[in-house]
Chains A and B, each alone.
Chain A
Amino acid sequence: MKRRLILVFWMGVASCLAQNAPKAPAAPAAPSTPAADTGKSSDSGTASGSKESTSAGSDNQFLGKNVPFLDMGTDVVTWDGKMWNISNNRLLRARFEKYLVSAESTEKEYAEYQKIITQIIDKLSPEHLTSRAVDEAWAMLPKASNYAIDANLCDSLANAVYSVWLAKNQVDRLEQANGNLDRERDLLSWNAEASVKDSSVNQYNPPNDKVGQTAWLKDREMERTIRMQPYTVRIAEVEAMMKANRLKKEASDLQSKVEFQALLMQFFLQRRFQHVVIGTRFYRVIFGDGDNKMRVGNETAKAISNFSGMPPTLGLLESMANEAMRDVAEGVEAFTFLVEKKEMAGATDRLAEAFAVGEYMPPIRQLPREKKRQALDFEQKSNQLISALEVRDYTRAEDLVKEMQAVARDFDTSKPMAAIETARTVSAMHLSKARVAAASGDRATLETELKAATEIWPRNPDLAKISGSIFNQADVQQQALSDLQRLIAQKNYRQIFDDKVRYIAATALFPDQQEQLRKILDDMQLVESGIIRANEIAKAGNYAGAWENVERVFQKFPEDNKLNQVRADLTTQASDFVRSLRTAQKLERNSQVGSSLAWYLKAQSLYPTSEFAGEGIQRMVSQVMPDRK
């Protein structure tokens, strides 16, 4: 928890400093009061800066956005309307993975560097502190800076110390100048006094009359003023110069402090805690006035105060740096222990926390790669699990959970499994609804449910299977419906009748087409019945009767091929009857009533029960005898 607090503090201060950093150098430009008021001046300077920010509408902003907010309960940072988990961030994960795969820093160079750093810290420690030790420590800074791992930070620190020393020299010179000016002012005062003391101004007695006395006094006063004027003007100039020098000294002193503190704060934010310790120790030595108050912006001061409960001081910064170093060492120790216990989840978390705080600390840099690789394996799987959950690949996520459970005894599967099971259940529910919708022909619901199921679990194997079957079914159905419409247009009812099972299934969901098909099948049933009946009659040798049966059906369904074939066969077999009947019909159409009636009579003689002949005869008779009884 403490480790996390440090991390959180680091983030908070980072944001605050980022918004206040530009204001710090401006603070020394304004001072005009003695050192005792410097803090106030700095604050006022910062306050004015804050005021400016407020007036610009950016008092609570970071990089032009709102200051990040961290929810300690969930480790979620909110910034600019976006949220991310600080322990689950792509950049942090990538950096941590890079660290896990890198070799430990056990080489000679790193050991030498650490030796120098340790020596510097040791030389600056209060128990060994001497002017010579300070000089030696300062001289070692460039040496430490020669190592790549240092990133020239020691050089920066050495330069900062040197700058302070130069500033100190300037302050000394200013003090010396002020001393000279002070002496000059004393001399000028004495000269002024002397110029009027021995002059003729005091040698003449005043007249006795009152008017004369008054005029005499005026003359003397004027004379005294004229004599002293050059001295008083010069004294005023000297005093002004002294005041200006005093201001310069104060400003120079304050600027040096602010710059040095800014550098220390920067080291802290860079998590270069060893450099923070070295810097704070240098600061105490080179300023030596006991003023350890940090001149930082209001937000940064507030963040430090909120975290520590105390106002920001160099001592606090150093103690936090020491605490961070201790914490990192403890984190690495915890990691090592948990790895031995095969509790990789906890181990990886501890190492990630320690890494976040003390990326450049020796315990982190010197951790053996073999141990890190165990964490790497778990971390990679963990990242893959996060990715799988992000893209809702729950099949992969479940596999990863199992693998992670195998390598990490302490891995908590409840959260990912809850997500996986929930997605499965909801997806299955939507798929069930989609199935029902498909069965009932509710296309809108089918699409909605399939879309919902896809959104929840895009790579759900059941989704592909079920949607495939639904759409295959839909394709077959669509094809059957298309064929049905084509056959209807062609009046090929025989084909429809032959494949009636297919079309009955296809039109099951379409009432209009179902009704159309029902009528076609009913008609075809009549055709089939007519053919069967004709065949039976023909079997009895009554070809004319058979033909007449077929002909009656044919008149309704002339397009049926099978019926046509049967009709053609029977026409041959009952040729006399058919010829008589057709001739009669032809003559009837030509208004040859007598001839037509004769042929109908002949046809009837060939097939006495012929309905066609009987009907024809009745029609003809009706023409001959419209009033028949």
Chain B
Amino acid sequence: MVRRASSKPKPLWFITTLLLLAAALGGGYWLYQEVQDPYRVVQDLNIDIYMENANSLRGNVYKIEGTVENSLAWSPVKGRLFSFETGSSSQPGYVAVLVPPQLNHINIQKGQRFRIKVEVIQDGILQVVDMRKS
């Protein structure tokens, strides 16, 4: 009598499933992230170029993400000036960001991490257009 072959789970199928699941999770996360980044259409600021010649970037709008390092100054007219640590932990970069008076309502404290949309204004200073905690 012909024995009916036993149906055992095949490893290939298992692996494939895992991969698909991972891809789905990754895609979901990416999608989530994309949906979460409000400045996803804005170009990232190239720190190296900025540090080399900020004046050449004047008028452009970029986005950066960094941690508040220090409060450098405050002016009722110009607003607040902060230093931010950007880049990776292995190769950190530092920029000064001017938060105009219009954004005085945003509470900024040392160590907070922000996504910031900036415009390179006169003297190559990065002025915040918009910023959100990340």
Contacts and interface: CB of A to CB of B under 8 A. Distances in A.
A605 B67 CA distance: 14
B69 to A, nearest CB: 7
B79 to A, nearest CB: 8
Given A593-B124, A598-B51, A623-B123, A628 B95 contact: no
A621 interface: yes
A125 B126 CA distance: 153
Contacts of A594: 50, 54-55, 95-96, 120, 123-126
Given A593-B125, A595-B124, A617-B72, A624 B51 contact: no
B55 to A, nearest CB: 6
B94 interface: yes
B50 A605 contact: no
Interface string B44-66: 00010011111100000000000
Given A598-B54, A598-B96, A602-B93, A629 B123 contact: no
B128 interface: no
Interface string A580-615: 000000000001111101110110110000000000
Contacts of A625: 73-75, 78, 81
Given A598-B94, A598-B95, A601-B95, A592 B54 contact: yes
Contact of A621 (B54, B55, B81, B94): B81
B2 interface: no
Nearest to B95: A598
Contact of B73 (A591, A592, A601, A629): A629
A627 interface: yes
Given A598-B96, A629-B75, A624 B81 contact: yes
B35 interface: no
Given A594-B50, A595-B50, A599-B51, A624 B98 contact: yes
B124 A592 contact: yes
A595 B75 contact: no
A605 B78 contact: no
A564 to B, nearest CB: 29
Contacts of A601: 69, 83, 94-96
B59 to A, nearest CB: 13
A579 to B, nearest CB: 12
Contact of A595 (B53, B83, B85, B98): B53
Interface in B90-134: 92-96, 98, 120, 123-126
Interface residues of B, number: 29
Contacts of A591: 55, 123
B94 A605 contact: yes
A620 B98 CA distance: 13
B114 to A, nearest CB: 16
B83 A629 contact: no
Contacts of B96: 594, 597-598, 601, 620-621, 624
Nearest to A583: B51
Contacts of B74: 625, 628-629
Nearest to A620: B96
A628 B96 CA distance: 15
Contacts of A620: 96
Contacts of B54: 592-595, 598
Contact of B77 (A598, A602, A627): A627
Contacts of A593: 54, 123-125
A602 B94 CA distance: 6
A37 B94 CA distance: 148
B78 A624 contact: yes
Contacts of B11: none
Contacts of B83: 601
Nearest to A605: B94
B9 interface: no
A427 to B, nearest CB: 83
Interface in A184-237: none
Nearest to B84: A601
Contacts of B76: 627, 629
A625 B52 CA distance: 22
B103 to A, nearest CB: 15
Contact of A628 (B47, B69, B75): B75
B11 to A, nearest CB: 51
Interface string A501-532: 00000000000000000000000000000000
A22 B124 CA distance: 128
Contacts of B93: 598, 602
B55 A627 contact: no
Contacts of A605: 69, 85, 92, 94
Contacts of B73: 621, 624-625, 628-629
The 4 closest A-B pairs by CB, nearest first: A594-B124, A594-B54, A593-B123, A601-B94
Interface of B: 47, 50-55, 69, 72-78, 81, 83, 85, 92-96, 98, 120, 123-126
13 contacts: A592-B55, A592-B124, A593-B125, A594-B50, A594-B96, A597-B95, A598-B95, A601-B95, A602-B51, A621-B72, A624-B73, A624-B81, A628-B74
Given A593-B124, A595-B52, 11 more contacts: A594-B54, A594-B124, A595-B50, A598-B93, A601-B96, A621-B81, A624-B125, A627-B78, A628-B75, A628-B78, A629-B74
